[in-house]
């Protein structure tokens, strides 16, 4: 199948982009890496009348160190560039671990950080990492700029809090508490397939006990979600495998993941528990714990 007809725009500045989005509203669609949008266009699951290609906007590319220990990713940062970045490896090890799991190298060569975040696939790696790290999204329109926390940005399946006239310009990810250990674990039938479930986890220790933890799950709801009950349960507990197994049971007790040809609700819930436990154990070991 071929895409429906559309008018093509290739602006060269952010100002031009947001002007086009303001003019065309919900008829406009932004093209970044195209690894999700182009197949949707080809299958006519997306039928915008106006396509705004932002690849010629130089100011939307690049990775930068933020004040403190975080990293900022301009929208057009390619997955592969982030994957190879020494700054990302140093400051965001959970992202460095998640990036190689996105599709295949050919996909990561074109796919973008901003595009993945704005696409908001509930089974995708980058939204889960954004939720786990407490990322902030910088968005622009002709009305000005605003910063949106990750837990407010992701709304539902393929839906964000971006207005029709807004452009995501940067994703800012903090590194997390000093001395914390991070891990990313996903379960897929084959490498490069969409994950059945996945977990981004952080453990910060005080001696041999958990001082703070974060658990973000993907593929189990209509968006990436934090397991706040499991995080609260772990506070002050010994950094042991049984503590993490109990937290995994708490994290998955009320999950109702969708059933499909790849797995039932019960199967996905079981896999999520396995992934949470493994990710927490790994994160604690990287924080210096004897899990």
User: Each residue of 148-157: pLDDT tens digit?
Assistant: 999 999 999 9
- pLDDT score of 1: 65
134 and 45, same structural domain? no
- 234 pLDDT higher than 50: yes
CATH number assigned to the domain comprising residue 263: 3.30.390.50
Q: In terms of domains, do 65 and 162 share one?
A: yes
Instruction: Give the span between the Cα atoms of 218 and 235, in whole angstroms.
Output: 22
In a domain, 12, yes or no: yes
CB 93 within 8 A of CB 50: no
Q: What angle do CA 64, 66, 69 make, to 5 degrees?
A: 115
Angle in degrees, 0-180, between the axes of helices 241-252 and 265-286, rounded to the nearest 10: 140
For residues 140 and 157, state if they share a domain. yes
Give me the pLDDT at residue 289, please: 47
| Higher-scoring residue by pLDDT: 260, 277 | 277
Q: Of 126, 156, 173, which residue sits at a domain end?
A: 173
CB under 8 A, 24+ apart: contacts of 158-166: 158/119, 158/120, 158/121, 159/120, 160/117, 160/118, 160/120, 162/118, 164/21, 164/25, 164/26, 164/28, 165/18, 165/21, 165/22, 165/25, 165/141, 166/18, 166/21, 166/139, 166/140, 166/141
pLDDT of residue 290: 44
Q: Calculate the dihedral angle through the C-alpha atoms of 164, 167, 168, 169, rounding to the nearest 10 degrees.
A: -170
Asked whether residue 291 carries a pLDDT value surpassing 50, the answer given is no
Residue 180 pLDDT exceeds 80:
yes
My answer on whether 29 and 89 are in the same domain is no
163 occurs within a structural domain = yes
Residue 118 domain flag: yes
What distance in Å separates the CA atoms of residue 289 and residue 291, rounded to the nearest whole number?
Answer: 6
Q: Which residues contact 195 (CB under 8 A, 6 or more apart)?
A: 101, 123, 125, 186, 187, 188, 218, 219
Instruction: Evaluate whether residue 204 is within a structural domain.
Output: yes
How does the average pLDDT of the chain come out, rounded?
A: 95
Judge if 70 and 163 occupy the same domain.
Answer: yes
pLDDT by residue (tens digit) across 18-41? 999 999 999 999 999 999 998 888
277-290 per-position pLDDT tens digit: 999 999 999 997 44
Q: What percent of the chain lies above the pLDDT cut of 90?
A: 88
Residue 74 falls inside a structural domain: yes
Q: What percent of the chain has pLDDT over 70?
A: 99
146 and 210 fall within a common domain: no
- How many domains, in total, are found in the chain? 3
Q: What is the pLDDT of residue 177?
A: 92
Looking at the structure, do residues 209 and 118 belong to the same domain, yes or no? no
In a domain, 220, yes or no: yes
> Alpha-carbon Rg of the chain, whole angstroms?
19
CATH number, residue 70: 3.30.465.10
Would residue 291 count as lying in a domain? no
Please spell the DSSP secondary structure of 88-151, one letter per residue: HHHH-HHHHHHGGGSS-HHHHHH-BHHHHHHHT-TT-HHHHHHHHHT-EEEEEETTEEEEEEHH
Average pLDDT value for residue range 62-74: 94
Same domain, 211 and 257: yes
DSSP secondary structure letter of residue 250:
H
Residue-range definition of the domain harbouring residue 151: 58-173
Average pLDDT over residues 5-16: 96
Q: Hunting for tokens 């910088």 — which residue is that? A: 138
| pLDDT tens digits along 103-153 | 999 999 999 999 999 999 999 999 999 999 999 999 999 999 999 999 999
**Residues 19 and 96 occupy one common structural domain:** no
> At 92, is the pLDDT very low, low, confident or very high (cuts 50, 70, 90)?
very high
Read off the pLDDT of each residue in 157-177 and give the average, rounded to a whole number.
96
Task: Tell whether 107 and 213 lie within a shared domain.
Answer: no
Residue 106 belongs to some domain of the structure: yes
Residues 47 and 69 in one domain: no
Q: Are residues 151 and 65 in the same domain?
A: yes
């Amino acid at each position: 199948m071929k895409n429906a007809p559309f008018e093509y725009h290739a602006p060269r500045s952010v100002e031009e982009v947001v002007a086009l989005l303001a003019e065309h509203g919900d008829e406009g669609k932004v093209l970044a890496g195209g690894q999700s949008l182009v197949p949707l266009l080809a299958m006519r699951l997306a039928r915008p009348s106006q396509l705004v290609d932002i690849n010629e906007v130089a100011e939307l590319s690049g990775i930068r160190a933020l004040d403190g220990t975080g990293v900022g990713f301009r929208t057009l940062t390619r997955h592969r560039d982030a994957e190879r970045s020494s700054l990302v490896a140093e400051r965001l090890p959970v992202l460095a671990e998640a990036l190689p799991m996105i599709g295949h190298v050919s996909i990561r060569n074109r796919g973008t950080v901003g595009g993945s975040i704005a696409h908001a696939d509930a089974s995708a790696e980058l939204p889960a990492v954004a939720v786990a790290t407490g990322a902030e999204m910088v968005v622009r329109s002709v009305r000005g700029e605003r910063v949106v926390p990750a837990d407010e940005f992701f709304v539902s399946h393929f839906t964000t809090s971006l207005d029709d006239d807004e452009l995501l310009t940067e994703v800012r990810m903090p590194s997390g508490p000093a001395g914390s250990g991070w891990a990313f674990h996903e379960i897929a039938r084959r490498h490069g397939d969409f994950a059945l479930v996945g977990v981004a986890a952080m453990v910060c220790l005080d001696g041999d006990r958990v001082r703070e933890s974060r658990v973000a799950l993907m593929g189990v709801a209509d968006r990436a979600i934090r397991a706040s009950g499991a995080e609260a349960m772990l506070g002050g507990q010994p950094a042991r495998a049984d503590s993490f197994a109990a937290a995994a049971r708490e994290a998955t007790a009320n999950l109702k993941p969708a059933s499909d040809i790849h797995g039932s609700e019960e199967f996905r819930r079981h896999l999520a528990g396995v992934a949470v436990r493994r990710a927490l154990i790994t994160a604690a070991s990287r924080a210096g714990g004897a899990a």
